[in-house]
Chain A
Amino acid sequence: MSEETVTATFDVYRFEPGKDAAPRYDRYVLDLPPHTPVLTALLKVRAEIDPSLTLRYSCRSAICGSCAMQINSKSRLACEAAIGPELERDGRIVIEPMRNQPVLRDLVVDQESFWRNYSKIEPHLILDPRHPMPEGRENPMTPEEVDRFKETPRCIACAACYSACPAVEADPAFPGPMALAKLFRFVVDPRDQAHQDRLVRIQTDGLWLCLRCHLCTEACPKDVRPSERIRDLKEMAIAAQGATEHGSRHAVGFKENIRERGQLNEMKLARQTFGPIGLLAQAPQGIRIWRKKPELLRAPHPIEGQDEVEKIYEALDNGKTKEDLP
């Protein structure tokens, strides 16, 4: 029985640093059934057309996380992305290496910074030496305790989120979505005894550089939802240590600001976040904006029903986070 096929055009990024002057795109045209995974197509290219095409893969079942690459500009697992929908949308399939990591050759990137950021969060249980585990005993968790991890144990470390993240791209101080989602997993682990230290440390180690753009949550093939766990970490970090950084001062300042009038007092918030000296450094930019937008310096009128807002604060702003710490 013959299967229906489509003619698929692949434009594949090729580059060998040190040998090639610049990257190029090689075009391969294959007739394949529309459900063919991109990875299968690339392996066919390698087997039948160009054995020098270099890529990383292993399980072919979306478990190992090795074959993440950019497929029509989106970071995806090649073993999971079928060619049919890609062709339908874009007419061809552009294959490129993941972003935010230097290319070693063709589709293989150097994942050094990704793994360095991962090991930096100490992705293992930290136990207090003063309270060692009793010899020969297990340390079980209840199903409810396991639920605290949310979707984070699903992560296969494919780095699709790292590739999609604009904060990683712009600032090496940001550890990336995957490392932070993993950190969340250890912070809420009831067996871990370093959650307080972990939260204090991450406040200065890039937590507040997350842009909450949710591109990581969109890119993740396992629906780990890193951006939402990073939000959880921020709330827990404030609960653990208070507002010590610009980012946490801004979040807490914002909360206090809304409590006063129900809406934002822009100038006051800048004062709260930067402090008097920091604010001075912002003054030239502030004056530029103020000249066009004089409302910047005006405090808004309190909203009607400000008393309701105050009562909601009294009921729900009692220092407890939604994730009660273990």
Chain B
Amino acid sequence: MKLAYYPGCVAQESGKELDMATRWVAKALGIELVSFPSFSCCGSGFLDEANEVLNIALNARNLAIAERAGLDLLTICSTCQGMLTLANVRLGDPKVKARVDGALRPLGIEYRGTTKVKHLLQVLTEDIGLDAIRAKVTRPLDGLKVGAFYGCHLLRPADEMGWESAEEPHSFEDLLSVLGASPVYYRGRVMCCGFPIQFVKPETASKIAGKQIVDAKAHGAEAMATPCPLCHISLDGYQNQAAKAVGHSLDMPVLHLPQVVGLALGASAEELGLQRHLVSTTPITDRLRARA
């Protein structure tokens, strides 16, 4: 299958390991990623707060780029997924569409709304399919207890995201099971990571991140995994602050979605960029190596 690859800002910069792991997994599973150096930022929820229509228009341009190539668009970030999907939804309002068209038409850009926005999690579980992935597993994850952490914008608002149940999602856990991990169910898996207010009130953001990590740990998680690089920043990059907020150390390795898949499909830690994490992932890789 062939998809317009929308890596998003973070995976091209400080979260580059996510891009590395995505490319490795795509290659292993026969997904052709078509890059477009003309994609702009999705707005990340922040641009939307400053100017909603501008944000919709910039994403209409992104969607039109994929549309012109006749491709659906692949995201690897819950927030990119949310913002691009939301643009598709809002452009269904003729008043919004008229304003956006007014800005795009003079540039020769036409948005028709035929491009579907799909997150990697959806592509893996629905398009590639769990059976096909199971067939490619060369290093089962040895019952590693993993707490999936979905990220708000992949799920909510549910009536606009058109994805699985926002209250009881299960695609990530289904995927983890196929990879040989034991999914851990905990309340925090559908909660917020705190990232949106990391720049507003860091201590509150850390309290929220800490709460979800503590919850995952209390339910036995040895690692967490997320389909969102912004959640990853909160849970991994700022985990030391989260630990301070909850008053004890957390030591919770946090993997990106394609890193968990890549590990089970036989990628090396270096190929997946695991050395770039703030919280060491060696407890996981050592365990898998001991088993192999």
Q: Do A and B come from one complex?
A: yes
Of B46, B157, B201, which contacts A218 at CB under 8 A? Answer: B157
Query: Total A-B pairs in contact (CB under 8 Å)?
Result: 187
Enumerate chain A residues within 8 angstroms of B39, measured Cβ to Cβ: 303
Bin the interface of chain A by size: 35 or more
Given known contacts A258-B41, A285-B238, A312-B104, A296 and B14 CB-to-CB distance under 8 angstroms? yes
Contact partners of A309 in chain B: CB under 8 A: 40, 58, 61
Q: Quick check: A250 and B278 within 8 Å, CB to CB? A: no
Q: Give 1 or 0 for each of A252-279: 1 = CB within 8 Å of chain B CB.
A: 1011001000111010001001100000
Other-chain contact of A215, B102, B192, B275 (Cβ < 8 Å): B192
Contact B38 A303 (CB under 8 A): yes
| A185 interface hit (Cβ, 8 Å) | no
Contact with A along B50-75 (1 / 0, CB 8 A): 11111001100100000000000000
Cβ of B180 within 8 Å of any chain A Cβ, yes or no, is no
> Are B46 and A251 interface neighbours, CB within 8 A?
yes
The answer to whether B157 and A212 touch across the interface, beta carbons within 8 angstroms, is no
Q: Is B112 an interface residue (CB 8 A)?
A: no
In the bound complex, residues from chain B placing their C-beta under 8 Å from that of A171 are 201, 204, 207
Contacts of B207 in A (CB 8 A): 170-171
Known: A212-B45, A264-B9, A300-B12. A73 touches B187 (CB 8 A): yes
List residues of chain A with CB within 8 A of the CB of B34: none
Residues in B with CB closer than 8 Å to A317 are 51, 54
B-binding segment of A7-15, A48-56, A227-235: A227-235
* Chain A binding surface, main DSSP class: helix
Q: How far is the CB of A74 from chain B (nearest CB, A)?
A: 6
Q: Closest approach, in angstroms, between the C-beta of A279 and any C-beta of chain B?
A: 11
Q: Is B49 a contact of A234 with CB atoms below 8 Å?
A: yes
Cβ of A202 to closest chain B Cβ, rounded Å: 13
Among B50, B167, B192, B238, contact of A251 (Cβ-Cβ < 8 Å): B50
Annotate A56-71 by CB proximity to B: 1 below 8 A, 0 otherwise: 0000000000000000
Determine whether A316 belongs to the interface, using a CB cutoff of 8 Å to chain B.
yes
Smallest CB separation, A146 vs chain B (Å): 17
Determine if A322 is an interface residue (Cβ-Cβ < 8 Å): yes
Query: Do A298 and B50 form a contact, CB below 8 Å, given A218-B157, A288-B240?
Result: no
B156 and A292 form a contact (CB under 8 A)? no
Decide if B94 is an interface residue (CB 8 Å cutoff).
no
Bound form: Cα–Cα A251–B39 in Å: 20
Residue A188, interface by CB 8 Å: no
Query: A311 an interface residue at 8 Å Cβ cutoff?
Result: yes
* Closest A residue, CB atoms, query B105: A315
B240 neighbours in A (Cβ, 8 Å) = 285, 288
Are A292 and B276 neighbours in the complex by a CB distance under 8 Å? yes
Contact: A238 with B50, CB < 8 Å?
yes
Q: Which of A74, A255, A263, A296 contacts B167 (CB 8 A)?
A: A74
Give the residues in chain B near A238, CB-CB below 8 Å.
49-50
Is B266 part of the binding interface, using a Cβ–Cβ cutoff of 8 Å? no
A163 to B200 alpha-carbon distance, docked (Å): 22
Given A211-B208, A254-B44, A262-B40, A322-B53 contact (CB < 8 Å): yes
In this complex, what residue of A is CB-closest to B95? A322
B1-32 CB contact bits vs A (8 Å, 1 = yes)?
00000000110111110000000000000000
| B107 close to chain A: CB less than 8 A | yes
Q: Pick from B49, B104, B197: contact of A235, CB below 8 A.
A: B49
Q: Tell me if B194 counts as interface (CB < 8 A to partner A).
A: yes
A252: chain B residues within 8 A (beta carbon): 50
Determine if A295 is an interface residue (Cβ-Cβ < 8 Å).
yes
B136 within 8 A of A: no
Nearest-Cβ distance from residue B233 to partner chain A, whole angstroms? 8
Neighbouring B residues of A266 by C-beta, 8 Å: 9-10, 13-14
Q: Footprint of A on B, CB under 8 Å?
A: 9-10, 12-16, 37-41, 43-54, 57-58, 61, 99-100, 102-104, 106-107, 109, 152-153, 156-158, 166-168, 187, 191-192, 194, 196-197, 199-201, 204, 207-208, 211, 237-238, 240-241, 275-278
Closest 3 CB pairs of A and B: A214-B156, A315-B103, A264-B9
